[in-house]
Amino acid sequence: MKSIFENTQIAFASKSDAELKKSFVLFKLISSPVLTKVGSAFIQFLIKVGLPINFLVRKTMFDHFCVGTNLEETEITVKKLRANEMDSCLNFSIEGINSEVGFDATLNEILRTMDASSPDAGTPFAVFKPTGYGATALFEKVSAKLPLSTEENKAWGRVKERFHTSCKKAVQRNLKLLIDAEESWIQPALDLLLEEMMATYNQKEVVVYATLQLYLSERLPYLKTLIEKSKKEGYQIGVKLVRGAYIEKETARALDRKLSNPVCPSKEATDQNFDNGLQLLLENLDQAAVFVGSHNELSTLKAMEQMKQNGIASNHPRVCFAHLFGMSDNISYNLSDHGYNVVKYLPYGPVKKVIPYLIRRAEENSSIASQTSREMELLRSEIKRRKQVQK
């Protein structure tokens, strides 16, 4: 029996023949780890020597994984997704900031994103990356419970204020605010901040969502503790469940520093963690809202089955499936077609400034061969189907 995710006619209904072929070529290129590594190094070299690269990047990676260089350019994609019964989350995708001026500029852009978002317009979610609001070294020091200098205390106070400002804006705009996860060695400081935000802003309904990376073995026990703690203290929790984005980095750091590896011992263990975490949240929907962030078809089918077994309607307001723009359209569009709540992450930003994000997308796709080959298989199938229809 074929799964619903095999329906390429629904998955790619919004793509022209030319767009399908262009997407296929792009995934073919990034399916090679060697080509991806060389290409990424070449782009970084061009940036370093000051050569113009906007046109090259925009016509390849950028147009596939991003929806515009500014907020105004995102509107076309938002409306297209809305027409297909899907919501959007505008994602200002600049990374690698490391100055107070930069942190304030990022906050201002996130606030602009929130002002441009609303549930009625199909943009009920907002998102930010914590290290866009404060230095990685500062998060690491707070996580390690090391004493802070006077200046560091002031800087940490400004980080907290940026978090509160964002949460207040979310309440004002009637939005849900997703806060990304970070590497394990700076996550403890972020956990404390997120619990403070949820305790403050999730009193009556879920506004703030934490992101839990389930490739980390301790995240499932943490989720259980968080549910119990929120029940005792009288607030609700929002949780975005993902497998995670830093597996290789985490493993390499643990090996280099002779530390215990925080990553689950196998992919199967990670998958089990993910399934168990989702089941736990589905059993506590009176206390929690869940954002299912997975590009894995099997996990998504299991999630649908878990909802069915728990008697949860496909369009339950506290369960939402999410995917990155440019990936897993077969899951997104077919889930929406079957009545599930679906959100697409829509990255945007100046071409040069989103290059770190684009390189990360390429590297993640090349390292997960099954994901890239699956995208190519589906695109090839739809191209073939259209040719047969046109005969």
Of 87-96, 120-129, 206-215, 228-237, the least confident = 87-96
Cα-trace Rg, the chain: 21
Residue 286 scores a pLDDT above 60: yes
| Higher pLDDT, residue 43 or 135 | 135
CB crowding 129-146: b at 16 or more within 10 Å, else e:
bbbbbbbbebbbbbbeee
pLDDT at 263 over 80: yes
Confidence of residue 40 (pLDDT cuts 50, 70, 90): low
For 10, 190, 313, 331, 385, the CA distances from 317, given in Å and listed in that order, are: 24, 26, 9, 19, 35
* Weakest-pLDDT range from 32-36, 222-226, 286-290, 340-344: 32-36
- Domain boundaries along the sequence of the chain: 67-353
**pLDDT attached to residue 29:** 80
Q: What is 67-353's CATH number, 3.20.20.220, 3.30.70.2860, 3.40.50.2000, 1.10.150.20?
A: 3.20.20.220
Judged by average pLDDT, the poorest of 35-49, 139-153, 164-178, 303-317 is 35-49
pLDDT of res. 362: 66
HEC profile for 133-188?
CCCHHHHHHHHCCCCCCHHHHHHHHHHHHHHHHHHHHHHHHCCEEEECCCCCCCHH
Q: Please give the torsion angle defined by the CA atoms of residues 4, 338, 348 and 71, in that order, rounded to the nearest 10 degrees.
A: 160
Give the model's pLDDT for residue 56: 65
**Which tens digits make up the pLDDT trace of 273-282?**
999 999 999 9
Residue 47 has pLDDT above 70, yes or no: no
Collect all residues with Cβ–Cβ distance below 8 Å to 133 and sequence separation of at least 6: 103, 106, 107, 159, 162, 163
What does the alpha-carbon distance between residue 100 and residue 111 come to, in Å, rounded to a whole number?
Answer: 17
Output the pLDDT for position 358.
77
Question: Is residue 313 within 8 Å of residue 286, measured between CB atoms?
Answer: no
**Helix, coil or strand: residue 97:** coil
pLDDT score of 1? 43
Confidence grade of residue 231 (pLDDT, cut at 50, 70, 90): very high
Q: What is the pLDDT of residues 79-127, one digit of tens each?
A: 999 999 999 999 987 766 789 999 999 999 999 999 999 999 999 999 9
Name which residue leads in pLDDT, 40 or 5: 5
Contact 117, 123 (CB under 8 A): yes
pTM above 0.85, yes or no: yes
Q: Which of 43-57, 65-79, 334-348 has the lowest mean pLDDT?
A: 43-57
Read off the pLDDT of each residue in 37-60 and give the average, rounded to a whole number.
Answer: 61
In the predicted model, is pLDDT for residue 329 greater than 80? yes
Could you give the C-alpha distances from 236 to 1, 168, 206, 210, 290, in angstroms and in order? 39, 16, 6, 12, 11
Average pLDDT value for the chain: 90
